[in-house]
Amino acid sequence: MLLIHCPYCDETLPEVEFTYAGQAHVVRAADPASQSDEEWENFLYIRSNPKGPHYERWRHLHGCGRFFNAVRDTISDRFLTTYKAGAPRPELSSLLGDRT
């Protein structure tokens, strides 16, 4: 069982309380009318599928109900960090430095 730290509850809790919610930092254009078909396709459908650290959204569904962001290693399933929605995207180098 994975243990996930909710940045809103500030507790590390069992995975069953959480749901996965897709890739993080996918930002809708401020002016949608300016977008080309290719840009819409990219926004709606194109996602990364990394082998390694992945920036993704999670929701503390059976808890505070909040969406937050996480960096999870898709090989080991290890969570490198979790942070509140709207917080800046952490640099990967700083997270991997914590690992040792």
Residues in touch with another protein (CB under 8 A): 1, 8-11, 13-14, 16-17, 61-66
CB of 68 to Zn ion, least distance (A): 8
Region 15-54 residues binding Zn ion, contact defined as CB under 5 A: none
Q: Using CA atoms in the order 45, 24, 67, 21, what is the torsion angle rounded to 10 degrees?
A: 40
1 touches, from another protein, Zn ion, none (C-beta below 5 to 8 Å by class): another protein
Kindly report each contact of residues 85-88 with a partner whose C-beta sits within 8 Å and lies 24 or more positions away, as own/partner. 85/57
Minimum distance from residue 40 beta carbon to another protein (Å): 32
